[in-house]
Amino acid sequence: MLEVIFGLAVGLIVYVYVGYPALLAGVAGLARAWRRAAAAADAPLPRVTLLIAAYDEAETIAQKLDNSLALDYPAERLQILVAADGSRDATPRIVAGYAARGVLLNHEPARRGKMAAINRAMPRATGEIVVFSDANNFYAADALRQLVRPFADPRVGAASGAKVIARGDGALGDSEGLYWRYESAIKRWETAVDSCVGVAGEVLAVRRRLFEPPPEAIINDDFYMALRLLRRGYRVVYVPAARSVERVSPSAATERARRARIVAGRYQALWLGARLLPWKRPWLVWQIVSHKYLRPLVPLAMIAALAANAALAWTPGLAARLALALQAAFYGTAVLGARRPLRGRVGRLMYLPAYLVQSNLAALVGLYRFVTRTQSARWQRVPRRAAAAAGEEPG
């Protein structure tokens, strides 16, 4: 029985992190042969509303607005709308100072959460395409042009750009950047097969006529919006050339808090289950289950694998003891990588186990918050230093 538990746990971990991406890459290679050619680059540019959600963003909102106004997109076809929700600092006043440059402000003094702010601002949006963004993300100059290109295909309901981690924050930045490069590859392959099932909420474009407000209790609103579009028969595509830059979380603690919220949202999606899955599109069901529904189970599988392995190590045979030694080396490296971050390639290699372990510890916190219903759908601002759109790692 212990062998079965250990085998299933290890099998789940390997499938989620290695098996699924490998299978997906193979299927994507075949699918590209049948995929319709991309839309022409000279297709007419649609009118776009850039909707920026902001809560206590006085430190970065001016830089965000300057970045938005400098984007390579026709000014007469771009509306910039800021949805400020319960800000206690100077965010509304700073945004109001940009009114002469065409920036619109929708501010509600009472804090009700990000989706409430977006839902309240949407009636003022005039663009055919609404691009959702955060105040601490900064777009590459051509990001909007790249992001709207897929909408020449009427089957496309949403397009997600690439989250980019700016360099210069040490080992945590290196590891988070490596994680986002890994996620970027998966999204490219998913798009080639059918649609990407993971979207970056800070650079997400949706057809305004298709926008369906998520319930305010939904934690991962961007994931919910993508699933609803997929269930309605539309495609959600990944556009790696549409880059959004941000700094990595300043500490492992703030990164754990951010990931705990994300994973609580995944458990919520697991709980909603069949009601969100596009059953008429089996390839998509496979992608969603493999990429989003199985991953929250990895921390439980890690615990099961370690416990079963420890028990098996007391039985005759060398294999179980060798496996336990490998696990001990992995977790030992994770502890060293977290406590003594090193620079360079060695530091990145040491910190990768630490990042994986910390991410899955955060997932356990997310599970606890979901089960106890203590995870609020309101967003909590994670402090990140301002980032320039240069010197970054693609994600």
Looking at residue 46, what is its pLDDT? Answer: 97
Mean pLDDT score across all residues of the chain: 84
What's the rounded mean pLDDT across residues 36-55? 79
Residue 83's Cβ-count burial label (10 Å; 0-12, 13-18, 19+) is buried
> Letter for the amino acid at 379?
W
Looking at residue 391, what is its pLDDT? Answer: 36
> Letter for the amino acid at 9?
A
**Low-confidence winner among 114-118, 371-375, 389-393 (lowest mean pLDDT):** 389-393
pLDDT at 346 over 80: no
Strand pairing of 129-134 and 204-207? antiparallel
The residue among 333 and 211 whose pLDDT is bigger is 211
In tens, the pLDDT along 167-193 reads 554 444 555 567 778 889 999 999 999
In tens, the pLDDT along 244-301 reads 988 665 555 666 676 777 777 777 777 776 777 899 999 999 999 999 889 889 999 9
Looking at residue 347, what is its pLDDT? Answer: 63
In tens, the pLDDT along 141-163 reads 999 999 999 999 999 999 999 98
Structural domain harbouring 46: 1-395
SS3 89: coil
Confidence of residue 226 (pLDDT cuts 50, 70, 90): very high
Confidence of residue 208 (pLDDT cuts 50, 70, 90): very high
What's the rounded mean pLDDT across residues 7-21? 96
Nearest Cα neighbor of 51 from 139, 123, 121, 155 is: 121
Looking at residue 348, what is its pLDDT? Answer: 65
Q: Hey, which of 4-18, 251-265, 376-390 has the most confident mean pLDDT?
A: 4-18
Query: Within the chain, where are the H helices?
Result: 2-14, 20-31, 61-69, 91-96, 114-121, 143-148, 170-193, 221-231, 252-272, 282-288, 298-312, 319-339, 344-372
Looking at residue 390, what is its pLDDT? Answer: 35
Looking at residue 343, what is its pLDDT? Answer: 62
CB atoms within 10 A of CB 347: 17
Looking at residue 361, what is its pLDDT? Answer: 87
Helix 170-193 × helix 344-372 angle, to 10°: 70
Whole-model pTM: value is 0.85
Tell the residue number behind the tokens 């212990």, with chain if given: 2
What's the rounded mean pLDDT across residues 324-349? 78
DSSP letter assigned to residue 100? G
Looking at residue 254, what is its pLDDT? Answer: 64
For the chain, the domain total comes to 1
The percentage of the chain sitting over the pLDDT mark of 70, rounded to a whole number, equals 83
What's the rounded mean pLDDT across residues 194-223? 89
Q: Hey, which of 206-220, 266-280, 366-380 has the most confident mean pLDDT?
A: 206-220
Looking at residue 168, what is its pLDDT? Answer: 52
Neighbouring residues of 376: CB distance < 8 A, sequence distance ≥ 6: 113
Confidence of residue 373 (pLDDT cuts 50, 70, 90): confident
Find residue 138's DSSP bridge partners.
Answer: 245
CATH number for the domain that contains residue 273:
3.90.550.10
Confidence of residue 389 (pLDDT cuts 50, 70, 90): very low
